[in-house]
Amino acid sequence: MSNKLTKMPEWKALADHHKEASSVHIRDLFVRDPARFDHFHLRHEGLLYDYSKHNITAETRTLLLDLAKVCGAESLRGDMFGGKTINNTEDRAVLHTALRRPAKDNVKVDGENVMPLVHAALEKMKQAAQAVRSGEWKGHTGKSITDVVAIGIGGSILGPRMAVKALAPYTDRNLKFHFVSNVDGSDLSETLLNLRRETTLFIVASKTFTTQETMTNALSAKDWLCGRQSHDIAKSHFIAVTAEVKNAADFGIAPENVFPLWDWVGGRYSIWSSVGLPLCIAIGPENFQKFLDGAYSMDRHFQDAPPEENIPVIMALAGIWQRNFCDRPALAILPYEQYLAGLPSYLSQLEMESNGKSVDRDGNKIDYATCPVLFGETGTDAQHSFFQMLHQGTDITPCDFILCAKTQHPMGDHHRKLLANGIAQMQAMMQGKEDTKNPHRNFNGNRPSTAIVLDRLDPYYLGMLLALYEHKVFVQGAIWNLNSFDQWGVELGKVQAKTVLSSLENSGAQGLDSSTQGLIRHVKSR
């Protein structure tokens, strides 16, 4: 068992500090320091990060920064940006940050500068996006595209699905975007219901081009498109985004319609690559570049800002404090912005697939908690569903509130009411309200929350926000000594699904436990 982390003096100092600090209510921290907000918030351009409503003092912060230092987060950061093979279990570099860097930069993987590849792919993506948007891209009957159907799953679809919705005001409203991920035929069937074959473009994104769900959907989409006609007509209706060019060619995708991906871009970090093609078509090349620029600006901040002013570093440390020292098992993601409805599930994958691990980088079992459970919903809807538990449940759940100072739709006082609700909820969670007569109406408060306030939700600030979370996950993984860039935990279920599938297709279900056999027998008998 690797317990190096919990044996470190810096870890022990934090555990000791927690014993004293836990008796202090957050509202008392505000009483002690009336300028607490000034001392516990950071800004980067039009992004404000407020952690003043955490049970964190200046001493807590110093001790957490000491921990980050001894855990080598800084040198690992240099290794990531520098293209070193930090994904040790898959023997790969981790270079999603290269995807937003300027062309003049030099980033080497195995001695080769990857920036020319990155920018050639970006150029190809921008040209295709422009062709679809202008109507120049024609289907097999010579008609322009009206509907784009993105097919993929996990990291190959969550990003574009979330971002196309988030940036709807920037999209070409003449084009319709659809996202199909589930192997459940209802997903594809419902999507195809109102589409016209001649004007539909499918973008199949799969790094491996072997993922069961994606390939099943792609094949059914091709059957729907071609019907009894030659499969050649699919050529102008199918694009592949993949690292496995041969698999895409075998599927019948024209070589010029294959967009590259590299093994040093992880699925959940891939929205900046050709996986972002649906987004690039939706918002156009210029806005897509702004999206990359926003992320790049956060990359620079993460690389250059001193640790105590570094938003991803402090955000990661506040999370480590809540998870490991205050024993908080979950994190709620609460965008007070309807356009960010897809953010909770995007961040669930980003954090839980990256840091939901129980062995360290060297495969040693660890004796400390790692990634919390992420869940969430937009405000104010969430207030009327699970906020009861956030205010009065037995578990304390830290919350990330994401607000935008300006709205896309200045309609009456809607936006003021939205902001008022978000800000008030954070205050209520922190402050509480004592009711000595009626325990049902008593609020203890002392429930931590983070506020992230964007000046506005546009391509630039969406890019910045996503990069912030990526780097937060990175710093937490560095401290927990995890490989945040593999996902072996998803493999076993995939293999078992094949065995169960063959039992469903054939008669035998031998070698399986009685529950699995019973379920197979039951569904077959209905």
Output the smallest distance, CB 156 to ligand F6P, in A.
4
Question: Nearer Cβ to ligand F6P, position 267 or 372?
Answer: 267
Question: Is the distance from CB of 477 to CB of 484 less than 8 angstroms?
Answer: yes
Output the smallest distance, CB 193 to ligand F6P, in A.
25
Output the smallest distance, CB 392 to ligand F6P, in A.
36
Query: Would the CA dihedral through 338, 340, 341, 344 be positive or negative?
Result: negative
Output the smallest distance, CB 487 to ligand F6P, in A.
5
- Cα of first residue to Cα of last residue in the chain, in angstroms, is 48
Site string for ligand F6P, 242-281 (x = CB under 6 A): -------------------------xx-------------
What CA–CA distances, in Å, run from 483 to 59, 181, 373? 29, 27, 18
Number of residues that bind ligand F6P (CB under 6 A): 14
Q: Is 494 a catalytic site residue?
A: yes
Output the smallest distance, CB 214 to ligand F6P, in A.
5
Question: Nearer Cβ to ligand F6P, position 345 or 431?
Answer: 345
Question: Nearer Cβ to ligand F6P, position 412 or 493?
Answer: 493
Active-site choice (231, 494, 498, 524): 494
Q: Is 472 a catalytic site residue?
A: no
Question: Nearer Cβ to ligand F6P, position 237 or 268?
Answer: 268
Output the smallest distance, CB 268 to ligand F6P, in A.
6
Using CA atoms, how far apart are residues 355 and 361, in angstroms rounded to an integer?
11
| Interface with ligand F6P, residue 487, by CB under 6 A | yes
Task: Please name every residue paired with 335 in a beta bridge, in sequence order, or none if there are none.
Answer: 402
Active-site choice (7, 69, 365, 384): 384
| Angle at CA of residue 391, ends 389 and 393, nearest 5° | 40
Three-class SS of residue 458?
coil
Interhelix angle 459-480/73-81, nearest 10 degrees: 130
Using CA atoms, how far apart are residues 335 and 347, in angstroms rounded to an integer?
12
**Segment lying near ligand F6P (by CB under 6 A), choices 149-157, 370-378, 498-506, 515-523:** 149-157
Using CA atoms, how far apart are residues 437 and 154, in angstroms rounded to an integer?
50
Report the residue from 57, 156, 338, 503 that binds ligand F6P according to the rule CB under 6 A. 156
Q: Which positions ≥6 away from 61 have C-beta within 8 Å?
A: 308, 314, 317
Question: Nearer Cβ to ligand F6P, position 15 or 219?
Answer: 219
| Interface with ligand F6P, residue 378, by CB under 6 A | no
Report the residue from 389, 420, 490, 497 that binds ligand F6P according to the rule CB under 6 A. 490
**Segment lying near ligand F6P (by CB under 6 A), choices 154-162, 396-404, 469-477, 503-511:** 154-162
For residue 148, give both structure tokens.
Answer: 């784009």
For residue 3, give both structure tokens.
Answer: 């317990």
Q: Which of 380, 401, 347, 450 is nearest to 51 (CA)?
A: 450
Q: Would you call 174 exposed, middle or buried from its count of C-beta atoms within 10 A (0-12, 13-18, 19+)?
A: exposed
Maximum distance among all Cα pairs of the chain, rounded to whole angstroms? 77
**Segment lying near ligand F6P (by CB under 6 A), choices 10-18, 54-62, 95-103, 150-158:** 150-158
Q: Which positions ≥6 away from 512 have C-beta within 8 Å?
A: 499, 500, 503, 520
Using CA atoms, how far apart are residues 179 and 166, in angstroms rounded to an integer?
14
Active-site choice (198, 353, 377, 470): 353
Question: Nearer Cβ to ligand F6P, position 115 or 243?
Answer: 243
Question: Nearer Cβ to ligand F6P, position 149 or 418?
Answer: 149
Question: Nearer Cβ to ligand F6P, position 87 or 289?
Answer: 87
Residue with the shortest CB distance to ligand F6P: 267
Site string for ligand F6P, 201-240 (x = CB under 6 A): -----xxx--x--x--------------------------
Q: Is 384 a catalytic site residue?
A: yes
| Interface with ligand F6P, residue 120, by CB under 6 A | no
Using CA atoms, how far apart are residues 510 and 508, in angstroms rounded to an integer?
6
Output the smallest distance, CB 87 to ligand F6P, in A.
12
Question: Nearer Cβ to ligand F6P, position 155 or 285?
Answer: 155
Output the smallest distance, CB 211 to ligand F6P, in A.
3
For residue 382, give both structure tokens.
Answer: 């969430």
Using CA atoms, how far apart are residues 351 and 373, in angstroms rounded to an integer?
9
Three-class SS of residue 212?
helix
Task: Provide φ and ψ at 457, rounded to 5°.
Answer: -95, 105
Catalytic positions: 353, 384, 494
Point out which residues bind ligand F6P (CB under 6 A).
153-156, 206-208, 211, 214, 267-268, 353, 487, 490
